[in-house]
């Protein structure tokens, strides 16, 4: 029988798995089935917590900045994503390895 987690715990697991995928393979590799496989749940579970892939991407961006995940932040900078517009310059430099 599968272990049931509290919704906030499961949501965090999903976001952490998604960040790991983006860190390793970029945003292009982020899809529900891959995240579901990493977490050990169905794609339906991902849909339950994040209705659309865009919602999951937004959650990943916010969490990557909060943690911080410098690899994901660097990708957002290169993509010129508005999520990082107001990010501290020191964090941006660290994410890009000092090449700002």
pLDDT, position 1: 58
**pLDDT tens track for 19-28:** 999 999 999 9
**pLDDT tens track for 32-84:** 999 999 999 999 999 999 999 999 999 999 999 999 999 999 999 999 999 99
CA distances from 76 to 6, 10, 36, 70 (A): 30, 25, 23, 10
How many residues in the chain?
Answer: 100
pLDDT, position 2: 63
pLDDT, position 98: 58
pLDDT, position 72: 97
Torsion of CA 81, 71, 32, 45, to 10 degrees: -110
DSSP code string of 30-44: --HHHHHHHHTS-HH
Q: What is the CATH number of domain 7-95?
A: 1.10.357.10
pTM: predicted TM-score of the whole model, two decimal places:
0.91
């Amino acid at each position: 029988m599968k272990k049931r987690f509290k919704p906030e715990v499961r949501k965090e697991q999903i976001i952490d798995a998604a960040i790991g995928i983006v860190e390793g393979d970029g945003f292009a590799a982020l899809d529900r089935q891959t995240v579901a496989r990493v977490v050990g749940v169905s794609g339906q579970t991902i849909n339950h917590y994040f209705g659309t892939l865009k919602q999951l991407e937004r959650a990943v961006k916010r969490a990557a900045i909060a943690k911080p995940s410098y690899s994901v932040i660097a990708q957002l900078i290169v993509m010129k994503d508005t999520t990082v517009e107001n990010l501290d310059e020191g964090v941006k430099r660290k994410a890009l390895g000092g090449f700002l």
